[in-house]
Amino acid sequence: MNIDRTTHNPHLMQKKQFKHLLLGTFFIISVQSNAQIFKPQILDNPENIPSPVFPVPTERQMQWFETEFYGFTHYGPNTFVGREWGNDRKPDPMEYNPASIPDCDQWIETMHSAGMKGAVVVCKHHDGFCLWPTESTDFSVKNGTEIARKVNIPKLVSEACAKRGMKFGAYISPWDASNKHYATQEYVNNVLMKQITEICTDYGDMFEIWFDGANGGGGYYGGEAMTTRTINKATYYDWDNLLDSIHKMQPNCVVWGREYRWCGNEDGYSGKECWSNFTIDEITIEGANNKGIEDGIFFIPSEVDVRTTSKWFWTKDDEANTKSAEQLFRIYLESVGRNANLIMNCAPNTDGIIPEPVVNSLEGLGKLLDKRLKKDFAAGKKVSATQTRNPGNFNASNITDGDKDTYWATNDGEKTASITIDLGKTRTIHYVMLQEYIRLGQRIKGFTIETSKDNTFWTPFATGTTVGYKRIMAKDDNTESYGEGQKARYVRINITDSKECPLIHTISVY
C-alpha cells in the first residue's frame, strides 16, 4: 500500500499541530526580541480569533459529530441460528437462509422515523461470513442459497440510505473466527484489507467504519475448532496503515478506535463529564472510555453503542425485551446529550424486516424527539453577556442566531462569564442545550444554569462540568423522566471554569 503517514494519520497530524504550536510560540518569542528587524505574519490576527486549545477535531470528525444519531444492523447467519457470535460452528454458508430478499428499505425507513441520520451495516461479524459477494474468502453469499446469492446487504442498505439523504457506514469484524489465515500476516494483508477495500470502494460515500475490539481467541479456523489464536490487538491489524488506506478511499470516513472511541459500556450512556480529549493508552486509565481525558492530547470523541432489545442479533424471544420509546429517549439524552454520538441497533429478523415492537419504539422515539427537542424557545431571542471578546464579531447574539459557525467568546484569560437569554415570554422549560465551538477545542470545565420569571430572582436549574459538541441539561441533570419543567422567561448560564476563554455557538431552550 502506498501511504503518506503524515497527511492522513490524525494522530501524527495532531502531534504535528502540537509541534507547530510549540515552534510558533518559540517563533513569537524570538521575533518579539528582534521586533525592529522582522514584521512577523504570525502575530497578525485582525479578526481577533481566539487561539485553539488543543486537541482540535479534523473536518471529518466535525462532520461525524454533526451526524449525532444513527442506526446499526446486526443481521447474518447468527439471525438464523439464534447466536450472538457464531464462532463455535463449522462455517456453513447455507446457514444464512433468507426466504426472500430482505427489505432493507424498511430498515432504513424505520431508522429515519426515529430521527436517525445514517446507518452502519454489519457486513461481516465475528463468524467471518461476508454479506456481499467478496473475492476475499469463499465464506460469503457467493456460495450461499439461491436467494442469498442474489442479496448484497451493503449494496441494498447504501442505496436505501442514499434515497433518504442518510449517511452510510460499515461494520467489519477484524476478528474472524472461521478464516484459516487468522492470526497470520496473510489475513491482515490479503483477507481483511481486501474486504475493507471492497466495502470502501463499491458502495458510495461512507461516514464511519466500525472495527470492534472483540476477540474471543477461539474459532473454527477452517477445521481446527476452538483453537485459541490470540493476537496483539495493538499491533496485529497495523492500524496506522489501515487508517491511511481508508482515508485515501473514503476521505470523510472516521475509523473506530482511532478517530472516535467506544464509550466503555453497551448500556447506552456516556459520562456526565465527557471529554473528547483522549490518549491511545486508555486501557491503563480506569473509566477513561466513558468520560474521556481532560488533558488527553488526541481528539477521539465518544460513541455510545446500544441495543433496542437485549441482544445484537434477533431472536423471537428477545422481542419481548424491546425498550420503550421513553427508555430510548433517555438513552438519547445520556449520549447525544452528553457530548457523544449514538449508534442504536435495529436487528432485522429471519423475514428480513425489523420486527414490529422495535419499529413501534423507534417511531415513538422519533415523535418524542420532535415533541421535546425541536421547538427552540431561544431561537432568535435577545441575549446578553457579562463579557464579550473585543474587538471582533463575538457578540452574545451569535448564540441564538441559528448559525453554528458564529460564536460568542470572551477576551483571552477571562474564564468565567454569565449569559442571559430573554425568551420574550414565560415558558415551561425542560431542557437547556449548550454547544461549544469545538473547532477551537473543548474548553468549558464547569457551568450552572438558573432561570427567572422577572430577571431579578433566580432559581437553580442544573449544574454541569464540561460541554463539548453538545450537552443537553434536564432539570437537575435528571434524565429519568420528562418531569414538570420549570416556568421562566429568562435563562442564565454561568460559566464557572474554562481552560481558556469559553466559546459558545448555540444555546437552545426547550
Element (H, E) at 494: strand 486-498
Q: Rounded to an integer, what distance in angstroms lies between the CA atom of residue 24 and that of residue 19? A: 8
Shortest Cβ 315–ligand FUL spacing (Å): 13
Four-point Cα dihedral 453, 454, 455, 458, nearest 10: -50
Closest to ligand FUL by CB, 309 vs 395, is: 309
For binding to ligand FUL (CB under 6 A), which residues are involved?
A: 84, 212, 214, 305, 312
Closer to ligand FUL by CB, 216 or 485: give it. Answer: 216
Q: Are 241 and 195 in contact (CB under 8 A)?
A: no
By beta-carbon proximity to ligand FUL, the closer residue of 305 and 334 is: 305
Task: Tell me how crowded residue 231 is: count the other CB atoms within 10 A of its CB.
Answer: 17
Nearest to ligand FUL of 59, 84 (CB atom): 84
- The b/e string for 189-203 (b: 16+ C-beta within 10 A; e otherwise) is eebbbebbbbbbeeb
Q: E strands within 437-477?
A: 444-452, 459-464, 471-474
Distance CA 249, CA 18 (A): 27
- Comparing CB distances to ligand FUL, the nearer of 198 and 305 is 305
Q: Which is nearer to ligand FUL, 167 or 311 (CB)?
A: 311
Q: Which three cell numbers stand for residue 130?
A: 461476508
| CB nearer ligand FUL, residue 312 or residue 394 | 312
Closest CA to 210 of 334, 365, 341: 341
Nearer to ligand FUL, 175 or 394 (CB): 175
Smaller CB separation from ligand FUL, 205 or 212 = 212
Name the CA dihedral angle for 127, 288, 65, 161, rounded to a multiple of 10 degrees: 10
Whole-angstrom distance between the N-terminal and C-terminal Cα of the chain?
Answer: 50
Cα separation, 494 vs 189, in Å, equals 53
Q: Which amino acid is at 207?
A: F
Q: How many Å apart are CA 418 and CA 387, to the nearest integer?
A: 8
Helices (H), 220-355: 239-249, 288-291, 325-333
Instruction: List phi, psi (to 5°) of 439.
Output: -60, -25
Give me the least distance between CB of 305 and ligand FUL, in Å please.
5
Instruction: Tell me whether residue 212 or residue 238 sits nearer to ligand FUL (CB atom).
Output: 212
Give min distance, CB of 408 to ligand FUL, in A.
39
Q: Which residues contact 208 (CB under 8 A, 6 or more apart)?
A: 64, 67, 70, 118, 120, 167, 169, 170, 253, 254, 256, 260
Minimum CB separation from ligand FUL for residue 211, in Å? Answer: 10
- To ligand FUL, the closest distance from the beta carbon of 210 in angstroms equals 7
76/301 with CB nearer ligand FUL: 76
CB of 420 to ligand FUL, least distance (A): 43
In the complex, the smallest distance separating the C-beta of residue 445 from ligand FUL, rounded to whole angstroms, is: 32
Four-residue CA torsion sign, 94, 100, 105, 109: negative
Measured from each CB, the residue nearest to ligand FUL is 214
CB of 84 to ligand FUL, least distance (A): 6
Residue 120 CB, nearest approach to ligand FUL (Å): 9
CB of 215 to ligand FUL, least distance (A): 9
Using alpha carbons, list the distances in angstroms from residue 83 to 75, 160, 313, 322, 431.
11, 27, 7, 18, 40
Contact residues for 230 (Cβ-Cβ < 8 A; gap 6+): 183, 215, 217
In the complex, minimum distance from the CB of residue 263 to ligand FUL, in angstroms, rounded to a whole number: 12
Q: How many C-beta atoms lie closer than 10 Å to residue 59's C-beta?
A: 10
Closest separation between CB of residue 214 and ligand FUL, Å? 4
Of 77, 155, 172, 69, the closest CA to residue 119 belongs to: 69
Please say which residue, 55 or 76, places its beta carbon nearer to ligand FUL: 76
The phi, psi pair for 369, rounded to 5°, reads -60, -40
